[in-house]
Amino acid sequence: MNLKFRGLCRSVGGAVALAAAVVFFALSAQAAGSYQLRTTEVQEVSGGWHVIFGSITLPRAPSTAHQPMKFLFTKTMVYERALVDNSPQPVLNRTALTGQTPSVESLDVDFSDPSGKIYNRTRFDFSLTRTRGYEAGEYKLQVRTADGIDIGGAATIILKGDNPVVDRRAMTFSAKESGVKKVDNGLDAGPKGPANASDETNSAVPNNTEVVASGTAAPFIPADAFQKTPEEEAKEHPQGCGCAVPGQESSRSPRFGVLPLSVAFTLAFALARRKRSSCASRDS
C-alpha cells in the first residue's frame, strides 16, 4: 500500500512540474510582446521601401517613452533581372540565399502619446533604402529589444521593385567583318582589295624589302666648326722683341731693330777699354 502511494505521489509531482514548466515558457513567450505589419509586401518608391508596423506591443508599459530597438533584415531571396539569349527583354530570376548576415536598423520607438502618457503599445514606421544595401527580394524580419530579447516571432517581408539588369548572354568571338580577309596563318591581312586588281597596281609595290636612303643629309660636323672664333684669335700674340711702344704700328722699321744692337756694342767696347786703362795704371 505504501509503495503504491509513493508511486502515485511521484507521478503527481512530475505532472505538476511539467505543467509549471509549460506555464513558465508560455509566460516568457507572452512577456516578449508581439508586433504586426500593416502589409508584408512593400513597393519601392524613389529608391526606398516604407515599412509600416500596425502595432508593436510590450508586456507592460516601459519606464521611458523612447525605447531603443533593433530591426534585423536577413536576405533570403533576391530578384535578379537578367538579359539572356533568345529574349529581347530582361527575365526575372528568383535566387534563394542562405547564410546571409542580417542588416540591422537600430531605431528609437516612441510609446507615448502627444500628452506624454506612456503605453505598452504603439505604431511605428521607417524606410529602407538602396544606399544602405537593400534591394528587391525577400527578407526575414526579426524585432529585438536593446538587451537582445526577441519581440514576437520572425516574419517574411517582400520588397518589390526592379533591380539593375545583369547581362547573362553568351559571348561570341567569331569574326564576321566583310572588310577583313584572313590568310593561311590566321593573321589579319588588312582590308580586302578589289576583286579584279590589275597587274600594274601589283607591280607598283616593290618586292625588295631593303631600306634605301634618298636625298642628302647634313654632315655630322658642320663646316663652320673648323673656323676660329674671335676668342681663339685673341689668344695668339704677335712675334717680336717686346719693346713695342703703345699707340704705334705693330710693323717696325729696320732702324728700330739695328739701333739697340749698335748701342750695345758701343757700351761693351767702352767698358773693355776702360778696364784695360785701369789695369795699365796699376801695373805702372
Taking only the tens place, the pLDDT of each residue in 263-274 is: 777 788 777 777
3-state secondary structure 163-217: CCEEECCCCCCCCCCCCEEECCCCCEEEECCCCCCCHHHHHCCCCCCCCCCCCCC
Least confident span in 112-126, 147-161, 234-248? 234-248
User: Residue 9: is its pLDDT beyond 60?
Assistant: no
- The pLDDT value recorded for residue 272 is 78
Least confident span in 52-56, 119-123, 193-197? 193-197
Specify the 3-state DSSP secondary structure of 15.
Answer: helix
Phi, psi of 61 (to 5 degrees): -65, 135
User: Residue 254: is its pLDDT beyond 80?
Assistant: no
Q: What is the mean pLDDT of the chain?
A: 77
Paired residues of 191 in beta bridges: 180
The whole-number average pLDDT for the span 94-114 is 95
CA–CA separation, 125 vs 71, rounded Å?
11
The whole-number average pLDDT for the span 99-109 is 96
- The pLDDT value recorded for residue 184 is 52
- Which is more confidently placed, 123 or 241? 123
User: Residue 3: is its pLDDT beyond 50?
Assistant: no
Chain-centre distance of CA 121, in angstroms? 50
pLDDT-derived band at 13 (thresholds 50, 70, 90) equals low
What separation in angstroms does the CA of 58 have from each of 14, 68, 118, 153, 267? 33, 13, 12, 13, 144
User: Residue 169: is its pLDDT beyond 50?
Assistant: yes
What's 273's DSSP letter?
H
- The pLDDT value recorded for residue 227 is 73
pTM (whole model) above 0.75: no
- The pLDDT value recorded for residue 196 is 59
> What domains can be seen in the chain, in order of their start residue?
31-167 (2.60.40)
- The pLDDT value recorded for residue 185 is 54
User: Residue 120: is its pLDDT beyond 50?
Assistant: yes
